[in-house]
Chain A
């Protein structure tokens, strides 16, 4: 009997290992990754801590997964141990208990889609998953139970057969997708392309520089992705949390992050298993054939999908498998932009202006300060010295955001700070070019900005633009520019805390703070703006989606210049959420969010930058 059980469970385990090697062989056709195998020892921690942390945001799903996965694996391990070592009834009983737990897990998996499946979940082969899990757990669980009580071979054999059938079904579901995440997840977690997410601050959001001398820039075919990235696409469990969070999907643009990852997974295969989840909205079915050397965009992936992404990282934040959707989008964009020049028309204009005028709007760099000209801002010449360098950013060209900058400058003056701008030497930081995949223009803009900054002496950089903040703080270090970079809300929070600005709460309508993606998710700064608003306003409310899980305004990632078709506008959706929270005023902290949300037509809550609200509430400053 023991031999039979070892043969059944061991055989299934061996077959699973073989399946893993087959998958691995395919992933290894991607770009080589260093230290991939060495990462295997990190897997248990990353799986049990980091993955579970995300899964547990939905406790029911976490319970289901812990029981199903724990039961399937734990029961098998214990039964194998008992059968191999000839252990006593107690180990068999424990194995039976674990399988029993797995059986309950299978029931929960079934309950997830019955009586009504949530629309974000995939159907198809997933509908067979509970049956396969149940057969494996019930069959093997009964076998273990009979072994524990020392029953005869008669009831054990059919139990083992049932368990074996369940095992075969689970293996089949590896090929079809639903169980593939278990095998691919191990490889992906071992070789995760952003190890910084597991150490230190737990945040790693900057894009990596591209070697512009490499023969192939970015990704055109699946083999251009690195091995671990390919494993990541296979690791997707199609839970649909990303598509629930995706602003582009909500607005009816041709992007569904789940379908995107499934498409990339399918792109590796000539005959991919059928996808039974929601597709990207209004995308025609592409008839292209996949393969490691077959083009992705235009063949299996619709072009518009690529340009609809606002790079807000909401999908990444929600993904329990810690997949890096945005990196995949940017890698594909890099291939399209750098190798083929296949950008949208509006984006091509912005990129040309970035190349030729160092400013995506094509405006004269000397005009950047026009909106704050009345404040007579000092300009730091090369070799000059100041305490703070104020990076104005692209928003400074905009008259509306000029009001924010004037509020900020007024507050900084009242606090007695010494600061200056780069004047006409401030080029665009390159954020837009980089998100649109034009790494070459980004690197040349970054080199110019870094040399302009290095020619001056200052203690820190302050900017009101979270996109510039992210680029300067997180992406310039890889190119040799290291400075302390602070967002204006962080600076104002410091000034209020140190008593250099004294605020008195102003009676106001209800204020809801809209987190900019590049300040919140990209930099983890969600508290300082809220502290400021609490000090400046009497009544602050939270929108349903806020903080690290806030919804994007639709302004990032070059999406606005890419003329993406949509059913509705992302900022309209966001404004609806603000209304639902009862807000009469939406506080913002980013020129992009300001422009997008102010662009919402009809009666709507007012839009004010945090700096404007703080200025309205300030009663005393150090210099008054």
Chain B
């Protein structure tokens, strides 16, 4: 089992100082719990947050030195020597980060992705059992085929920070081919404005029907009628 943890040049939201995001620390924890070789990958120059992330359990971090779309750079790097598992946080904290990177990467590599992972089990027949954290502490078991991308839940157990590991990390720069530049995002930007709460006011009080063990087609028809009655679907 070889795992790669995607690391960002994290910034602490309060202090603005370099700091690994909690999700990435949790991702390192998941990678360690999977066993086998674990390495970090960062696109860009070595950042201070990387050393701190390494303190949570990474022996080495590859810094991919290329210009252009980090998704393309990562995809090229990962498909050259595909690991079994790619782990990421749910969202970086660098300011411009959208949290889309793992999804775009999965799309480009054609790998499956699961988000909100709090624990992983042992591989059987090429399938990896994982536990996904849902709101209010609920847990859901799932399994995913390797190789895959997992986004760690922010609340997944975080391995402790060990200064001795942080100071021993081997950070090596890897020269990679430049990738295409990122296309500017579509759509227009406009300032946020408060929107009226639609759901609460749109739903009429009472009404509805209770169906006990209905036929699926019947249930779908009732739901559609109900939504049409509310005006949420075109008649």
Interface presence of B167 (CB below 8 A): yes
Q: How far does the Cβ of A349 sit from chain B's closest Cβ, in whole Å?
A: 10
The answer, among A338, A351, A357, A441, for a CB contact under 8 Å with B12, is A357
| Contact residues in B for A343 (Cβ distance below 8 Å) | 160
Interface presence of B58 (CB below 8 A): no
| Contact residues in A for B19 (Cβ distance below 8 Å) | 355-357
Q: Return the chain A residue nearest B159 by Cβ.
A: A341
The answer, among A217, A356, A362, for a CB contact under 8 Å with B163, is A217
In the bound complex, CA of A343 to CA of B161 (Å): 9
A339 B162 Cβ-Cβ under 8 A? yes
Chain A window 97-117, contacts with chain B (Cβ cutoff 8 Å), 1 for yes, 0 for no: 000000000000000000000
Chain A window 361-388, contacts with chain B (Cβ cutoff 8 Å), 1 for yes, 0 for no: 0111100000000000000000000000
B161 A348 Cβ-Cβ under 8 A? yes
Interface presence of B52 (CB below 8 A): yes
Interface presence of A572 (CB below 8 A): no
Residue of B18, B52, B159, B163 most packed against chain A (CB within 10 A): B163
In the bound complex, CA of A155 to CA of B14 (Å): 87
| Contact residues in A for B186 (Cβ distance below 8 Å) | none
Interface presence of B15 (CB below 8 A): yes
A362-B14 in contact given A212-B167, A355-B19 (Cβ < 8 Å): yes
Interface presence of A394 (CB below 8 A): no
B162 A340 Cβ-Cβ under 8 A? yes
Interface presence of B139 (CB below 8 A): no
Q: How far does the Cβ of A56 sit from chain B's closest Cβ, in whole Å?
A: 44
Interface presence of B212 (CB below 8 A): no
Q: Return the chain B residue nearest A342 by Cβ.
A: B160
Interface presence of A440 (CB below 8 A): yes
Q: Quick one: which of B111-145 are within 8 Å of A by CB?
A: none
B52 A341 Cβ-Cβ under 8 A? no
| Contact residues in A for B161 (Cβ distance below 8 Å) | 341, 348, 351-352, 355
Q: Quick one: which of B154-193 are within 8 Å of A by CB?
A: 159-167
Interface presence of B17 (CB below 8 A): yes
B15 A337 Cβ-Cβ under 8 A? no
A357 B17 Cβ-Cβ under 8 A? yes
Interface presence of A93 (CB below 8 A): no
Q: How far does the Cβ of A290 sit from chain B's closest Cβ, in whole Å?
A: 24
Number of interface residues of A (CB under 8 A): 24
Q: How far does the Cβ of B168 sit from chain A's closest Cβ, in whole Å?
A: 10
Q: Quick one: which of B15-64 are within 8 Å of A by CB?
A: 15, 17-19, 52, 55
Q: Return the chain B residue nearest A217 by Cβ.
A: B164
| Contact residues in A for B160 (Cβ distance below 8 Å) | 340-343, 348
Interface presence of A438 (CB below 8 A): yes
B162 A341 Cβ-Cβ under 8 A? yes
Q: How far does the Cβ of A426 sit from chain B's closest Cβ, in whole Å?
A: 13
In the bound complex, CA of A355 to CA of B166 (Å): 13
A358-B15 in contact given A338-B162, A348-B160, A348-B161 (Cβ < 8 Å): yes
Chain A window 446-488, contacts with chain B (Cβ cutoff 8 Å), 1 for yes, 0 for no: 0000000000000000000000000000000000000000000
Q: How far does the Cβ of B136 sit from chain A's closest Cβ, in whole Å?
A: 22
In the bound complex, CA of A348 to CA of B15 (Å): 18
A438 B15 Cβ-Cβ under 8 A? no
| Contact residues in A for B12 (Cβ distance below 8 Å) | 356-357
B15 A339 Cβ-Cβ under 8 A? no
Q: Return the chain B residue nearest A212 by Cβ.
A: B167
Q: How far does the Cβ of A449 sit from chain B's closest Cβ, in whole Å?
A: 14
Q: How far does the Cβ of A211 sit from chain B's closest Cβ, in whole Å?
A: 12
Number of interface residues of B (CB under 8 A): 17
A356 B162 Cβ-Cβ under 8 A? no
Q: How far does the Cβ of B29 sit from chain A's closest Cβ, in whole Å?
A: 12
A338 B164 Cβ-Cβ under 8 A? yes
In the bound complex, CA of A356 to CA of B56 (Å): 14
A357 B15 Cβ-Cβ under 8 A? yes
A358 B17 Cβ-Cβ under 8 A? yes
Q: How far does the Cβ of B104 sit from chain A's closest Cβ, in whole Å?
A: 28
Q: Quick one: which of A242-292 are within 8 Å of B by CB?
A: none
In the bound complex, CA of A351 to CA of B52 (Å): 12
| Contact residues in B for A337 (Cβ distance below 8 Å) | 163
Q: How far does the Cβ of B93 sit from chain A's closest Cβ, in whole Å?
A: 10
In the bound complex, CA of A358 to CA of B160 (Å): 19
| Contact residues in A for B164 (Cβ distance below 8 Å) | 217, 338-340
Q: How far does the Cβ of A411 sit from chain B's closest Cβ, in whole Å?
A: 32
The answer, among B15, B166, B167, for a CB contact under 8 Å with A364, is B15
Residue of A212, A338, A362 most packed against chain B (CB within 10 A): A338
Chain A window 175-212, contacts with chain B (Cβ cutoff 8 Å), 1 for yes, 0 for no: 00000000000000000000000000000000000001
| Contact residues in B for A358 (Cβ distance below 8 Å) | 15, 17
A438 B163 Cβ-Cβ under 8 A? yes
In the bound complex, CA of A395 to CA of B163 (Å): 27
A338 B163 Cβ-Cβ under 8 A? yes
Q: Return the chain B residue nearest A365 by Cβ.
A: B15
In the bound complex, CA of A363 to CA of B18 (Å): 15
In the bound complex, CA of A212 to CA of B161 (Å): 16
A356-B17 in contact given A340-B162, A343-B160 (Cβ < 8 Å): yes
In the bound complex, CA of A440 to CA of B17 (Å): 16
In the bound complex, CA of A98 to CA of B17 (Å): 70
| Contact residues in A for B159 (Cβ distance below 8 Å) | 341
In the bound complex, CA of A339 to CA of B18 (Å): 22
Q: How far does the Cβ of A255 sit from chain B's closest Cβ, in whole Å?
A: 22
| Contact residues in B for A438 (Cβ distance below 8 Å) | 163
In the bound complex, CA of A358 to CA of B18 (Å): 11
| Contact residues in B for A348 (Cβ distance below 8 Å) | 160-161
A357 B14 Cβ-Cβ under 8 A? yes
A440 B163 Cβ-Cβ under 8 A? yes
In the bound complex, CA of A94 to CA of B226 (Å): 114
Residue of B15, B18, B162 most packed against chain A (CB within 10 A): B15
Residue of B18, B160, B167 most packed against chain A (CB within 10 A): B160
In the bound complex, CA of A212 to CA of B51 (Å): 15
Q: How far does the Cβ of A95 sit from chain B's closest Cβ, in whole Å?
A: 58
Q: How far does the Cβ of B169 sit from chain A's closest Cβ, in whole Å?
A: 14
Q: How far does the Cβ of B19 sit from chain A's closest Cβ, in whole Å?
A: 4
Residue of B12, B18, B161, B167 most packed against chain A (CB within 10 A): B161
In the bound complex, CA of A348 to CA of B165 (Å): 16
Q: How far does the Cβ of B202 sit from chain A's closest Cβ, in whole Å?
A: 40
B163 A363 Cβ-Cβ under 8 A? no
In the bound complex, CA of A441 to CA of B159 (Å): 18
A364 B17 Cβ-Cβ under 8 A? no
B167 A356 Cβ-Cβ under 8 A? no
Q: How far does the Cβ of A445 sit from chain B's closest Cβ, in whole Å?
A: 11
Q: How far does the Cβ of A98 sit from chain B's closest Cβ, in whole Å?
A: 55
| Contact residues in A for B55 (Cβ distance below 8 Å) | 341
Q: Return the chain B residue nearest A441 by Cβ.
A: B163
| Contact residues in A for B17 (Cβ distance below 8 Å) | 356-358
In the bound complex, CA of A351 to CA of B12 (Å): 14
Q: Quick one: which of B200-221 are within 8 Å of A by CB?
A: none
In the bound complex, CA of A440 to CA of B52 (Å): 12
Q: Quick one: which of A320-358 are within 8 Å of B by CB?
A: 337-343, 348, 351-352, 355-358
In the bound complex, CA of A343 to CA of B162 (Å): 10
| Contact residues in B for A339 (Cβ distance below 8 Å) | 162-164
B52 A355 Cβ-Cβ under 8 A? yes
Chain A window 417-449, contacts with chain B (Cβ cutoff 8 Å), 1 for yes, 0 for no: 000000000000000000000101100000000
Q: List chain B positions with a Cβ less than 8 A from chain A.
A: 12, 14-15, 17-19, 52, 55, 159-167
Pairs across A and B, CB under 8 Å, 18 listed: A217-B163, A338-B164, A339-B164, A340-B160, A341-B55, A341-B160, A341-B162, A341-B165, A343-B160, A355-B52, A355-B161, A356-B12, A356-B18, A357-B17, A357-B19, A358-B17, A363-B14, A438-B163
Closest 6 CB pairs of A and B: A341-B160, A341-B162, A356-B19, A357-B15, A440-B163, A338-B163
